[in-house]
Amino acid sequence: MSIVTSYQQLRSEALEAIDKKRPSGKFRAVLGYSICSVSVGANDVLISLQETVKQAELDNIIIETTGCIGMCCREPLLDIYTPEGEKYTYEYVNQKMARAIIISHSMYDEPINEWLIKL
């Protein structure tokens, strides 16, 4: 077995294991949460996300944090994953934007195009 084949098999098995642990049918909001993002307001964004989920009684979205995403100049970054697996990345997210983003996705299944990352 070649190294490439071995790697592909391990990767496939790992992805399957991850998928089995994630709840299906829910949106995921993943906030970049490292020193760079915290320094520009990620704490406030996280609190806003949590409060919005609680106040709006949204049961179809999960809030998660992750480490450095690698684009410190665009922090805070927020990834939204749809139940179908689509990914939307928002840049320069603040408290008000965070509320609007998760409501738009979880209630209307619509991204907010003007806030999506532009590479």
3-class DSSP state for residue 15? helix
pLDDT digits (tens, 9 = 90+) for 66-86: 998 889 899 999 999 999 889
Tokens of 36: 């760079």
Among residues 70, 76, 86, 67, the alpha carbon closest in space to that of 43 is found at 76
Q: What is the mean pLDDT of residues 35-57?
A: 95
Mean pLDDT of 52-79: 93
CATH number for region 21-115: 3.40.30.10
Any idea where the domains of the chain sit in the sequence? Answer: 21-115
Give residue 31's pLDDT.
97
Per-residue pLDDT of 90-103, as tens digits, reads: 999 999 999 999 99
User: Is residue 22 pLDDT above 90, yes or no?
Assistant: no
- How far apart are the C-alpha atoms of 50 and 5, rounded to whole Å? 42
Q: What is the mean pLDDT of the chain?
A: 91
Residue 81 CA to residue 74 CA, distance in Å, equals: 19
Looking at the DSSP assignment, which residues form a beta bridge with residue 32?
66
Q: 14: pLDDT confidence band, cut at 50, 70 and 90?
A: confident
